[in-house]
Homo-oligomer: A and B are copies of this chain.
Amino acid sequence: MSSLTKDTDRYFEEIEEGESFTVDAVRTITEADIVNFAGLSGDFHPYHMSTTVAGDSDFGERIAHGNLVFSVAEALVADMNPRSFSYGYDSLRFVNPVPIGTTLTVHREVVETEPYNDSLGRVVYAYEVEDQAGTTLLACQHITLVERQPGE
C-alpha cells in the first residue's frame, strides 16, 4: 500500500517539475459505487445500470461512469496544500472502460511550473489512472495556482 502522504503547506518555489506521487491500488470500483453515483448525478444510462443492455453492448458488461472514476481518482491524489487553488482540468480523457471490480492506481506528476503573476505560480499536474494490470483508464491535467513566497 502506498503511503498516504500528500503535499502539505508549500510555496510555489518549493514545488519542482518531475515530482511524483502514486496511490497504489487502494480502491476498487464496486457495483455499489456505480449505483450510488447514478443516484447522485442522475445519470442512469443503461451501460451503467442494466446488465442486459450493457451485456449486449461492445463492453459486454456494466461499466463505471467516467465521472465516477474521475471523482474517486481526484480525491485520492488531490493536493491538500492550503496555499494551492484548483484552477481547472484540461485534456480529461476516458481512455478505457472501467468494469465493476477494477482496482484503481493513481499517479500524479508535476509537469509544469511557471510564474503566473506576482503573487501566484501555475503548477500543472498530470494524473493517470491505471487498473491492476497497468492499463491506462483515465488521464487528465490538473491546473493549479500556488502562492509565491513573499519577497521573492
Residues of A participating in the B interface, judged by any CB pair closer than 8 Å = 1, 3-6, 8, 25-28, 30-33, 35-46, 49-53, 62, 65-68, 70-72, 74-76, 78, 80, 82, 86-94, 101, 103, 132
Within the complex, which residue of B35, B42, B70 is in contact with A32, where a contact is CB–CB below 8 Å? B35
Q: Is the CB of B92 within 8 A of A92?
A: yes
User: In the complex, given contacts A27-B42, A39-B42, A45-B80, what are 15 additional A-B residue pairs having Cβ atoms less than 8 angstroms apart?
Assistant: A4-B6, A25-B46, A25-B53, A27-B49, A27-B50, A32-B36, A36-B39, A40-B40, A40-B71, A41-B71, A42-B44, A42-B75, A67-B71, A67-B74, A86-B94
**From residue A95, how far is it (CB to closest CB) to chain B in Å?**
9
**From residue A143, how far is it (CB to closest CB) to chain B in Å?**
9
Which residue on B lies nearest to A131, using beta carbons? B52
Bound form: Cα–Cα A91–B103 in Å: 28
Q: Is the CB of A43 within 8 A of B103?
A: no
Q: Is the CB of A50 within 8 A of B35?
A: no
Within the complex, which residue of B35, B62, B101 is in contact with A33, where a contact is CB–CB below 8 Å? B35
Residue numbers in B under 8 Å from A132 (CB-CB): 52
Within the complex, which residue of B42, B62, B86, B91 is in contact with A76, where a contact is CB–CB below 8 Å? B42
Bound form: Cα–Cα A88–B89 in Å: 11
Which residue on B lies nearest to A65, using beta carbons? B71
Offer 22 A-B interface pairs, CB within 8 angstroms, sorted by A.
A1-B82, A25-B50, A27-B44, A27-B49, A27-B50, A28-B52, A30-B32, A30-B35, A32-B36, A33-B40, A36-B40, A37-B40, A38-B39, A40-B40, A41-B74, A42-B76, A50-B103, A51-B101, A67-B70, A67-B71, A68-B71, A71-B71
